[in-house]
Amino acid sequence: MIFKHFLQISALLMFWPLSANAQDIARPQPEIATDYEGVSVAEGADFMIVTANPHATEAGYKVLEKGGSAVDAAIAAQLVLGLVEPQSSGLGGGAFMLHYDAESKELVSYDARETAPMLAGPYLFQKHGEPMAFFDAVVGGRSVGVPGTPALLKETHQIHGKLTWMELFDDAVMLAEEGFEVSPRMAQMVEGAQDRLKRFPATSAYFMPDGKPVQAGDRLHNLKYADTLKEFRFYGSSKFYRGQIPARIVEAVQGYADNPGLLNTRDFHEYRLKKRDPVCGPYRAYIVCSMGEPSSGALTLLQMLGMLEKFDLPALGADDPQSWSLIAQASALAFADRNKYMTDPDFVDTPGLALIDPEYLVSRASLIKPDQPLEMIEAGTPPTISAEEYEAAPDVTRPGTSHISVVDKDGNIVSMTTTIEGAFGSHMMVNGYLLNNELTDFSFEPYGEDGKPIANSAEGGKRPRSSMSPTIVFDQKGNPVLVLGSAGGSHIIGYVLQRIIAVLDWNMPIEDALAMPHILARGKTIEMENDVQQKALEDMGHDVSVKSLNSGLTAIHITNESLRGSPDPRREGVAKGQ
């Protein structure tokens, strides 16, 4: 099915038969081991917002309380996040937004992904014929793409906003001028990155005044960010793409001698926000919608769900290791396809929706056995011709992202994942905010071992592949039931998948679903947050790694009775509604 700029959910439901065995049956709640106590949750009947920081949630809540739209609230929250959680997202980065209009039943997605400089080529991250070390590539100007977040905020407000543009800046400007307390998470991340941050005078002066990393509870002011916000408030996003703001970025990017970048002012002039077709597919009695390419989120997520629909996860439950074996195998197969085929569709003739063709997913699911690992993990051959020309290349991403979930009083929804890529992005601070390192999401190798091109190689004007997965789930009547997304690099897809299954198949309350230990796979190794399932999965023959998996989920569960919002207990987020 080909989607146009808007997706009519009611029309979509006519094209996809829903599984007869997937009715909304009340099932017993499983006992889930978790290391997280005091999980936050909020309930409301009219509106709800969940972000990764209390200040951002409060800013969005005030907007919703005044009658603002979901987009208005997301804008206010993002402006604050760029101040109080600058290591994760901001005006120097990009975002993907999914917007649902409750009156028209229309779903649209906005692509504010960063673009590569026009001078960039496939060998962008090579020196002396060899790929650069990851952090050698990240730190400095070479990794910086043209930011898309300013364009996203202004243009979506023009379409979906209800309050005036200038009203959305109050909290961000106030906090920047009057100061805010450094959170424990921000302090911890500055401590860990201080050696790299020291390389840049503006960055070091802000995060390490007096030469020492800021501490939790310290009060920070950001007057340069306040000045940038005031320009944004009065002049709109045009100032971010023409004039002094991009000129200062170009000067910094090109001027860092150790790792200069290729951005120039023309790259900013030519940046455009893009409307993309949302990608949707069935899962049991639901329709799951997320962001299409250049994000790999929707296609990979829907591949996983399409394969898993063959298996009775509701009956197995969360405590049965076979559930996790199935999830891991479906994930590994989907990631194999992702790594080979998915990238910016404006530059590569990708398989696209062929990757979620029902017959193709049946053939992929046939490789899965519940009680033993896959014999071989490799990309399949979807029903398309050009797809076989490319070779697989996984990315090496680091989590430096945030997610905003909003439902307004009219039932409009925003699911928005926003990022500067790795923590602290390129580590360069200009105009009071950090610049992204998004270009390191491109493959560092332009060709595979057999000489075939890699689809996700760098090219001038191209948008690098992403894993961001802003998601909205609808029931069989076309009503939204779940809004979610996460931070976490390429782990994002697994984090979102697990929560969809937890809520839809295992009937978990949303706060328990977010708090449950992560178990996911991006290849042959199953990564997990604790060792509860480790021995059982290893006995099946799986390779298991227990490690820290720091996500950044936010979610809203929508029922006939209420809106139930919850943030990820691994971060500092808050849900608030009424």
Which are the catalytic amino acids? 401
Using CA atoms, how far apart are residues 386 and 222, in angstroms rounded to an integer? 50
Using CA atoms, how far apart are residues 101 and 107, in angstroms rounded to an integer? 6
Residue 442 in tokens: 């491109």
Q: How many CB atoms lie within 10 A of CB 173?
A: 19
CB 71 within 8 A of CB 414: yes
DSSP 292-347: -TTB-HHHHHHHHHHHHTTS-HHHH-TT-HHHHHHHHHHHHHHHHHHHHH-S-TTT
Q: Which residue has the tokens 């890699």?
A: 454
Using CA atoms, how far apart are residues 292 and 330, in angstroms rounded to an integer? 19
Angle at 279 between CA 316 and CA 412, to 5 degrees: 95
Q: Which of 139, 51, 127 is nearest to 436 (CA)?
A: 139
Using CA atoms, how far apart are residues 253 and 206, in angstroms rounded to an integer? 19
CB 407 within 8 A of CB 424: no
36, burial (CB in 10 Å: exposed 0-12, middle 13-18, buried 19+): middle
Using CA atoms, how far apart are residues 574 and 578, in angstroms rounded to an integer? 14
Q: Which residue has the tokens 């948008």?
A: 463
